[in-house]
Structure 1
Amino acid sequence: MHDVPYVTAKNCGPEVTAVMTRVCSEVRQTVPLLPCGVQVLAGNNESALAVALSSGFQFIRAEGFVFGHVADEGIMEACAGPLLRYRRAIGAEHIFVFTDIKKKHCAHAITADVDVVGTAKAAEYFLSDGIIITGQATADPPSVKEYHSVKQSVSLPILIGSGVTASNVQQYTGVNGFIVGSHFKVEGHWKANIDRQRTQKFMDNIHKLRLEIVSQTMGEKCC
């Protein structure tokens, strides 16, 4: 995140892959049992796969999986075919590829006739392992209505990839996961250090939400 301005994959040197592998390997040693994933900005998805394989990670976050768009860094072309073929070639098919659709910090005018549901269905057809939904920018939550529309339209796991906070997390019922960054930082700013109290409050809310879901499920079974 701090390595701005970002560059697209064609301008991303091998030193980025090397450094990310070193960092992720240290993370793996620190938390050997925690499922971990990696993203290499911007859209350097093959590099992310290589890093994940070398570091023993379980998933990557991929940009531009289906449908081209215009990002801050320039044109992003769809990459599902080359990316999944590369995953097979390096023996990394056990690593999940979670894919952004209608991604934040991007203009989607060239695919304006394809809504978020259509994009999600295309990602599922092109063998994505999970869908990531975001708002318009970092710390901007995605539309709850759009989330539920996608949830009803595909059978893939869905993750919320931006703008999740302790106060809105309960709106995304039935979601499979959250990618949280800014909210865990001091005053919710992505450049700041981790705020342990904010993080603990968020996790307490998640725990309460899980208990409510379990309670409701048990109640339905009993009745």
Structure 2
Amino acid sequence: MSTTWLDDVFATKKPVIAMLHLAALPGDPAYDSTGGIAAVVRRAREELDELQAGGVDGVMVSNEFSLPYLTKTEPITAITMARIIGELLPAFEVPYGVNVLWDGRASIDLAVATGAKFVREIFTGVYASDFGLWDTNVGEVARHRARVGGADVKLFFNIVPESATYLAARDLAAITRTTVFATLPDAICVSGATAGAPTDAEALKVVKAAAGAVPVFVNTGVRAENVGSQLDIADGAIVGTYFKKDGVFENRADRTRVEELMGEAKKFREQLV
């Protein structure tokens, strides 16, 4: 496996993918039934405009405000996300992916239904998490992906999940090597403890060294001041919280902050030519 698929999808080295965090959806505890889905769509469209105007290389749509998360989502979640993405389709100017937290099968279904190029999820491992005991079945998900025609959907495996601890007594390098060999990820994501939390540079180096030709993305904690040093290790970055107004997770995307980080990312990439 090589990183050429990144070039094909994003047409740039070291792509920066922005998170488009949807407001709470029907069935979620924080859902605003008064504003309804129209309000969710309106906010999503406004934030997509801010992210794309700021120069991001890709966008990943997620139900980030569906807290507390389920490890097997209710059907209404992916169905509503499909409706929202369908309304946004004419506005996408960059490649887009999806993430139905924390449900790999639902994420793949949503990608196939909406034409998304990639998904990010926890596809492997068993964890003790804030959401209970978290078990996965990558073999079942891989077969489901094939059955629904999702072979071209690229899978980002998060092997250091947020809010969870891996139960097996194995080090990060060993987990990376066996994940690559046995489960065939298209990319690997390395995270901090929560959304917006710094990703440990040493952990990122360990995963990069063990991943071989599989691309490695830094998944949380990327900021304008560290994007160059993080991309010096990783093959790309996924950014959510920093792009929000004042860098606050609950706020909306802010074009000024997007431009700031993307300016630094582009300066770093110019050195690679």
Structure 1 counterpart of 2:150 = 92
Structure 2 counterpart of 1:59 = 118
2:60 paired with 1:5: no
Structure 2 counterpart of 1:221 = none
1:72 maps to which of 115, 130, 142 = 130
Distance 1:80 1:73 in 2: 19
Contact 2:243 2:257 in 1 (8 A): yes
Which amino acid is 1:87 matched to? R
2:214 paired with 1:151: no
Contact 1:186 1:194 in 2 (8 A): yes
2:263 paired with 1:200: no
Shift of 1:79: 2.2
Cα RMSD for the two superposed structures: 1.3
Distance 1:122 1:71 in 2: 22
2:141 paired with 1:83: yes
Structure 2 counterpart of 1:118 = 174
2:253 paired with 1:190: no
Distance 2:69 2:121 in 1: 15
2:100 maps to which of 30, 33, 40 = 40
Distance 2:131 2:65 in 1: 15
Structure 2 counterpart of 1:179 = 238
**TM-score (structure 1 length as normaliser):** 0.88
Q: Any gaps of 5 or more consecutive residues in structure 1? A: 215-223
Contact 1:102 1:119 in 2 (8 A): no
Shift of 1:174: 4.3
1:23 maps to which of 63, 84, 99 = 84
Distance 1:78 1:115 in 2: 19
Which amino acid is 1:59 matched to? F
Shift of 1:17: 1.5
2:192 paired with 1:135: yes
Contact 1:132 1:159 in 2 (8 A): yes
Q: Any gaps of 5 or more consecutive residues in structure 2? A: 1-63
Distance 2:210 2:159 in 1: 14
**TM-score (structure 2 length as normaliser):** 0.73
Residue aligned with 1:179, SS = strand
1:163 maps to which of 198, 212, 221 = 221
Runs of 4+ that moved beyond 4 A: none
Contact 1:28 1:56 in 2 (8 A): no
Shift of 1:187: 1.3
Distance 1:104 1:175 in 2: 18
- Equivalent residues, number: 207
Q: Show CA shifts across 1:139-196 (max 9, x none).
A: 1121111111211111211111100000111122142211100000011111101111
Q: Show CA shifts across 1:99-139 (max 9, x none).
A: 0012121123x22x212211111221211111000011111
